[in-house]
Amino acid sequence: MNVVVIGGGAAGLKAASRIRRKDAEAKITVVEAGKYVSLGRCGLPYYIGGLVHEIDNLRETTYGAIRDENYFKRLKNIDILTLTKAIEIDRKKRTVRVVNNGKEDELNYDYLVIATGSRPVKPPVEGIDAEGVTTLTSAEDAEKIIEMWEEGAEKAVVIGAGLIGLESAEALKNLDMEVTVIEMMDRVAPTMLDRDIAILVEKHLEEKGVKVLTNTRVEKIVEGDGKVKGVVANGKEISADLVVVATGIRPNVELAERAGLKIGETGAIWVNEYMQTSDERIYAGGDCVETNHLVTGRKIIAPFGDVANKQGRVIGENITGGRAVFPGVINTAVFKIFDFTVAATGVNEAAAKDAGIEYMSVIAPGPDRAHYYPGTAYIRLKLLVEKGTWKVVGAQAAGMGEVAKRIDILSTAVQAGMTIDQLSNLDLAYAPPYAPALDPVITAANVAMNKRDGMFEGITVFELKEMLDREDGIFILDVRSEDEFERNHISSEKVANIPLLELRERLSEIPRDKEIVIVTVCALGLRSYEAARILKGAGFEKVKVLEGGMAFWFE
Amino acid sequence: MNVVVIGGGAAGLKAASRIRRKDAEAKITVVEAGKYVSLGRCGLPYYIGGLVHEIDNLRETTYGAIRDENYFKRLKNIDILTLTKAIEIDRKKRTVRVVNNGKEDELNYDYLVIATGSRPVKPPVEGIDAEGVTTLTSAEDAEKIIEMWEEGAEKAVVIGAGLIGLESAEALKNLDMEVTVIEMMDRVAPTMLDRDIAILVEKHLEEKGVKVLTNTRVEKIVEGDGKVKGVVANGKEISADLVVVATGIRPNVELAERAGLKIGETGAIWVNEYMQTSDERIYAGGDCVETNHLVTGRKIIAPFGDVANKQGRVIGENITGGRAVFPGVINTAVFKIFDFTVAATGVNEAAAKDAGIEYMSVIAPGPDRAHYYPGTAYIRLKLLVEKGTWKVVGAQAAGMGEVAKRIDILSTAVQAGMTIDQLSNLDLAYAPPYAPALDPVITAANVAMNKRDGMFEGITVFELKEMLDREDGIFILDVRSEDEFERNHISSEKVANIPLLELRERLSEIPRDKEIVIVTVCALGLRSYEAARILKGAGFEKVKVLEGGMAFWFE
């Protein structure tokens, strides 16, 4: 059997390796347009930031062998042709025309794997090709950024506050540069996060000295002496001697398209659940294909390294006679930004609305381990629950603690179709260094059940701000301690402070006017829930809890 | 409504709090035999070890309020009677007779909650009540241990290598004591771990200077001058001036039994899925009840703080007219031991055999984050998979990295009934600081599928040892680098070292004798799998992979 793989990234090499593991005899050739194969591109920001010391670390095995052409040949008997571009597929003859350094060649295949990946999209603005403007998707990009820094670049602008943009911002800040992030949408990580969780991330970025400009559109890149000088956005110029463009990717489908393979509704290559294209001899995987979103049922592009690896395995399995399936994804993602971990899975509010899912949302913060254990940090966790079925359909979280763990538990639960009632009794691993007795995941499920069952009514910071702006009849009851209240509170004359423990004794201080909505407020949302129950028990009717507590408040 | 709760631990107070949240009017009285309510007993080892500074930290809320009688009265209008023992339940009159400081009283109830917890079991050996022999289940125990240490105790023996025993051993070692742990069974944490994973833990304990004696039975405790002097075990005396007994617990069921409530097959109080005893007016939860093991279908006692909290919530919900269910547990557990995290969920091999589950096991180590990211640690993960359905029924893991996260993912998967094929495509949160592109959970599922599909045959360290002892025809091929091989290897003249990358070129060095079993060995089990595939591809027939690699080897 003769297999040609186009693309030496995660999907292509995983497919090639799996084929070799199952078939000792197959001839396997991988064609790669770039200089390297198997580069862990997700590690590039950490290479720039200095956490990863050598670019070669990003293409090593766990035991320190460099995954280059020699490695693949000697270990796996796989031929790798680097700096070689596939330029045409002839499906009738089953050949691929390739070109290396101007020399053309033709490779025969019994099976072909297309893993051509994606390329960064640059916004079509003046000056975008100026010297000093770069993307961050290759080793060369990373080397160029480091070179500019070494040559004295001090001010960086990152265009796009998606995952790569934010990771780049941290890396550049870690090099002591002055960093501004510009985002067109109203929040950072807009495809991943809702605005409330995004606010936490934006606050943390500002705390760490990174300037974030949301709702801001780049109009022009200013050049001087043949080099970038600044970025004009919303009419103002921000000076910059280094610009990183991270405004998304586009799948490389041209080769497949020219060969007449079916392109899906997303613009990526269509494949079935076996990762087979519309030609049964041709498989495809990685950033260049579309896949299913298992919650919405929609087709999406999921350009993540883990997805490419899983798809590559399925391809290799099926080319060698297997019948493996890749069902799809639920857009689980995580990123580190300074001391914060930010993660999400399933749908966010925008995606739920778009897919017509009727949902209820709750925000439930909690400590990531027993609160008395050293190093405990608070996680802000948001759940989206489908009304009626009460299944969890999405989750987002941010904080300094073990956020990724909770999102992985929830991701598994979403994929299993678990309800909040099932989550509430989930048997998770409890010991003080790892979780509180009720894990934040379980607390969130309990809060969601309380909300469903009418035990409390929540109000978001956005709704509360609007009520204050409209000057509605409102009384804000902050039930934190006096010290906490002194440190920061909602600046409005409608705020009163009664520490929770004193509330039953001081109920007379709260207005009994039926027109007034009482909003209870605390640090995390736990005391204010307790306060709301006390008020309800005492006959107050319109009582709402500020969901998530003061961490979400912004003036 | 009048509710009496017997027991001021997690289950009782959670039930009481939930009742108040749902019913502003109910009269709620909690009767507690001890001095404190709501003490986080799981934190006691950390208080002894000095990580938690004040015993009161263990009964604080997340916002620093002490959960004492005053707290419960002012905040929740719950009456707590400490140092008060319930001595009789009259189910006809619906009363509980209590005694405080010699004074008797009678409390009426509409609903009664029994949350009497458990007490430690001490082995019936001579000297067990000597001065200096203690358990570790109360604040008083903890204070006594600290006092003995302050008075100069230097040598500690811990009897029982379960979770509390091991956590105590670490705490005492952290106080610079000489610590020996004695365990009757052939391994540490015997109800939780199989012997292979237990070996990793034992090696780590020895590395940290804790002596572990397995297969060892305590025969006598030696006294002198009215104080403990030593422990005689397997005929030898180990000197000790402090002995911690951690040999399990027994549920406190006497009160319930005398009241004629049904006691289950485990000796704990029987309850239905609503946490109701055989008397519909009486609920029970926490250490004193039995529950369902959701994998085996058996009744078990699950004396964990998280379980008690969940059960308490269900009790409170149902007493106030709800219909909440507590379905059971799968014995998920985790403990920290020095730099290691050790965790398990579902059944281990002994429990699977006992329940008649036909299973396949695999060990699959992996890095807990991208291997190039600073601080990466290796996790040894073991899966038990039911043959035929190929559902995961159990998992165990140990290592320095993010072990708890993987067990929580697997716990969720076990509870959802996921197969290894589903696990293989699980959409988990990937970024270099949090996981490798294929999470260890996914790699383990892939390894399990490979084993199921005949892609490799595994051999355990125990089987390999036996083969070497029997002098079977065997050739051990260590495919690590020469440096790694030099550092440590299986001491047998049947071992040869051919680094993996050279294997295809040096196949002639491997015996072609069909009677000889070739066992491939490496650090983690990944290279040896690759090597086994190469050998199989080259026509070798009897090839086995040492599962888990050299970390599991012991001489």
Q: Which residues of A touch B438 (CB under 8 A)?
A: 306, 309-310
Tokens 């959409």 belong to which residue?
B427
The mean predicted confidence, pLDDT, of chain A is 96
Tell me which chain B residue has its CA closest to the CA of residue A419.
B416
* Residues with Cβ within 8 Å of residue B60, at least 6 apart in sequence: A371, A372, B66, B67
Adjacent-strand bridge partners of B211: B180
Q: How many CB atoms lie within 10 A of CB B482?
A: 11
pLDDT at A64 over 90: no
Tell me which chain A residue has its CA closest to the CA of residue B439.
A306
User: B207, B427, B224, B289: which is closest to A328 by C-alpha?
Assistant: B427
**Inter-chain touch A373–B65, beta carbons under 8 Å:** no
CATH top class, domain B133-247: alpha beta
Provide the residue type at B482 as one letter: E
Q: Which residues of A touch B21 (CB under 8 A)?
A: 455, 530, 533
CATH of B339-452, one of 1.10.340.30, 3.30.1370.60, 3.50.50.60, 3.30.470.10: 3.50.50.60
Q: Summarize pLDDT for B496-517 with one digit per residue, the tens.
A: 999 999 999 999 999 998 889 9
CATH top class, domain A341-452: alpha beta
Which of B326, B333, B427 lies at the smallest CB-CB distance from A425? B326
Per the CB < 8 A criterion, the answer to whether B465 and B391 are in contact is no
What is the Cβ-side half-sphere exposure of residue A126, based on CA atoms within 13 angstroms?
Answer: 9
Q: Which residues of B touch A24 (CB under 8 A)?
A: 533-534, 536-538
Q: State residue B195 phi and psi, 5-degree precision.
A: -65, -35
Per the CB < 8 A criterion, the answer to whether B368 and B343 are in contact is no
Per the CB < 8 A criterion, the answer to whether A288 and A118 are in contact is yes
Adjacent-strand bridge partners of B394: B346, B384
**Tokens found for residue B214:** 């397995």
Q: Best of A425, A498, A504, A536 to disrupt the B interface by mutation (most B CBs within 10 Å)?
A: A425
Q: Tell me which H or E stretch contains A432.
A: none
Adjacent-strand bridge partners of A218: A233
SS3 state at B97: strand
Radius of gyration of chain A (CA): 27
Tell me which chain B residue has its CA closest to the CA of residue A480.
B63
Provide the residue type at B48 as one letter: I
Q: Tell me which H or E stretch contains A213.
A: strand A211-213
Q: Which residues of B touch A42 (CB under 8 A)?
A: 370, 430-432, 437
* Residues with Cβ within 8 Å of residue A442, at least 6 apart in sequence: A423, A424, A425, A426, A428, B306, B310
Which of B52, B343, B372 lies at the smallest CB-CB distance from A52? B372
> In chain B, what are the domain boundaries?
2-41+55-117+250-319, 133-247, 339-452, 458-552
Over range A55-68, report the average pLDDT.
91
Q: Summarize pLDDT for B90-146 with one digit per residue, the tens.
A: 999 999 999 999 999 999 999 999 999 999 999 999 999 999 999 999 999 999 999
Q: Summarize pLDDT for B273-330 with one digit per residue, the tens.
A: 999 999 999 999 999 999 999 999 999 999 999 999 999 999 999 999 999 999 999 9
DSSP track, B112-157: EEE---EEE-----BTTTSBTEE-SSSHHHHHHHHHHHHTT--EEE
**Inter-chain touch A431–B370, beta carbons under 8 Å:** no
Q: Can you point out the beta strands (E) in A322-447?
A: 333-337, 340-346, 359-363, 366-367, 378-386, 392-399
- pLDDT reported for residue B62: 84
Radius of gyration of chain B (CA): 27
pLDDT at A78 over 90: yes
**Inter-chain touch A310–B425, beta carbons under 8 Å:** yes
CA distance B11 to B13: 6
Per the CB < 8 A criterion, the answer to whether B354 and B393 are in contact is no
Q: How far is CA B190 from the centre of its chain?
A: 9
- pLDDT reported for residue B66: 93
Is CATH 3.50.50.60 the classification given to domain B2-41+55-117+250-319?
Answer: yes
Over range A340-351, report the average pLDDT.
98
Per the CB < 8 A criterion, the answer to whether A252 and A119 are in contact is yes
CA distance A271 to A290: 7
User: B274, B297, B292, B299: which is closest to B284 by C-alpha?
Assistant: B274
Is the Cα dihedral B484, B486, B491, B497 positive or negative? positive
Q: Which residues of B touch A51 (CB under 8 A)?
A: 373-374
Which of A58, A310, A427 lies at the smallest CB-CB distance from B415? A427
Q: How many helices and strands (H and E) does chain B possess? A: 15, 30
pLDDT at A514 over 90: no
Closest-CA distance of chain B to residue A366, Å? 9
First-last CA distance in chain B: 66
- pLDDT reported for residue A63: 84
Q: Summarize pLDDT for B413-467 with one digit per residue, the tens.
A: 999 999 999 999 999 999 999 999 999 999 999 999 999 999 999 999 999 999 9
How many Cβ contacts (< 8 angstroms) between chains A and B? 291
Please indicate whether the domains covering A2-118+250-319 and A133-247 agree at the CATH topology level: yes
- pLDDT reported for residue A231: 98
**Inter-chain touch A75–B373, beta carbons under 8 Å:** no
Which of A326, A428, A438 lies at the smallest CB-CB distance from B408? A428
ipTM: 0.97
Query: Does B42 qualify as catalytic in the annotation?
Result: yes
Q: Summarize pLDDT for B241-265 with one digit per residue, the tens.
A: 999 999 999 999 999 999 999 999 9
**Inter-chain touch A427–B331, beta carbons under 8 Å:** yes
Provide the residue type at B434 as one letter: Y
CA distance A231 to A222: 6
- pLDDT reported for residue B472: 83
pLDDT at B226 over 90: no
- pLDDT reported for residue A226: 86
**Inter-chain touch B434–A336, beta carbons under 8 Å:** yes
pLDDT at B555 over 90: no
Closest-CA distance of chain B to residue A250, Å? 20
CA distance B299 to B312: 19
Alpha helices in B320-433 (DSSP H): 349-354, 403-416, 420-424
Fold of A2-118+250-319: FAD/NAD(P)-binding domain (3.50.50)
Over range B509-533, report the average pLDDT.
93
Q: How many CB atoms lie within 10 A of CB B223?
A: 17
Tell me which chain B residue has its CA closest to the CA of residue A335.
B431
Q: What angle do CA A188, A189, A192 make, to 5 degrees?
A: 140
Taking the model in full, what pTM does it have?
0.97
Is CATH 3.40.930.10 the classification given to domain B458-552?
Answer: no
Over range A82-104, report the average pLDDT.
97
Q: Best of B66, B167, B400, B425 to disrupt the A interface by mutation (most A CBs within 10 Å)?
A: B425
